[in-house]
Amino acid sequence: MFVCINERPADNPKGCCKAKGGVEVRDELKLQLKKLGLSKSIRANNSGCLDQCEHGVTVVVYPEQVWYGGVTVDDVKEIVEKHLVGGEPVTRLLLPDQPHLGDQKK
Amino acid sequence: MFVCINERPADNPKGCCKAKGGVEVRDELKLQLKKLGLSKSIRANNSGCLDQCEHGVTVVVYPEQVWYGGVTVDDVKEIVEKHLVGGEPVTRLLLPDQPHLGDQKK
Note whether B101 contacts A: Cβ–Cβ < 8 A.
no
State how far the Cα of A17 lies from the Cα of A70, in Å rounded to an integer: 9
Chain A residues with CB-CB distance to B1 below 8 A: none
HSE at residue A14, side-chain half, CA atoms within 13 A, is 17
Q: What is the side-by-side order of every strand in the sheet holding A2-4?
A: A66-68, A59-61, A2-4, A45-47, B45-47, B2-4, B59-61, B66-68
User: How high is the pLDDT of residue A77?
Assistant: 97
pLDDT digits (tens, 9 = 90+) for A28-70: 999 999 999 999 999 999 999 999 999 999 999 999 999 999 9
What pLDDT, on the 0 to 100 scale, is given for residue B70?
A: 97
pLDDT score of B102: 63
Beta bridge partners of B4: B47
The percentage of residues in chain B with a pLDDT greater than 70, rounded to a whole number, is: 95
How would DSSP label each residue in A47-63? ES--S-GGGPSPEEETT
A63/chain B closest Cα distance in angstroms = 6
Predicted interface score ipTM higher than 0.90: no
CA distance B25 to chain A (A): 15
Q: Select the more confidently predicted residue: A48 or B99.
A: A48
Q: Does any CB of chain A come closer than 8 Å to the CB of residue B45?
A: yes
Question: Has residue A90 got a pLDDT over 60?
Answer: yes
Res A106 pLDDT > 70 = no
Cβ-contact B52, B12 below 8 angstroms: no
Average pLDDT over residues B24-53: 96
What mean pLDDT is reported for chain B?
A: 92
Tell me, yes or no, if A86 comes closer than 8 A to chain B by beta carbon: no
- CB-closest option in B51, B62, B100 to A43: B51
Lowest model confidence (mean pLDDT) among A4-18, A29-43, A90-104:
A90-104
B51-77: average pLDDT: 95
Judge: B47–A2 Cβ closer than 8 Å, yes or no. yes
Q: What is the pLDDT of residues A60-83, one digit of tens each?
A: 999 999 999 999 999 999 999 999
User: Which ranges in B1-106 belong to alpha helices (H)?
Assistant: 22-35, 76-78
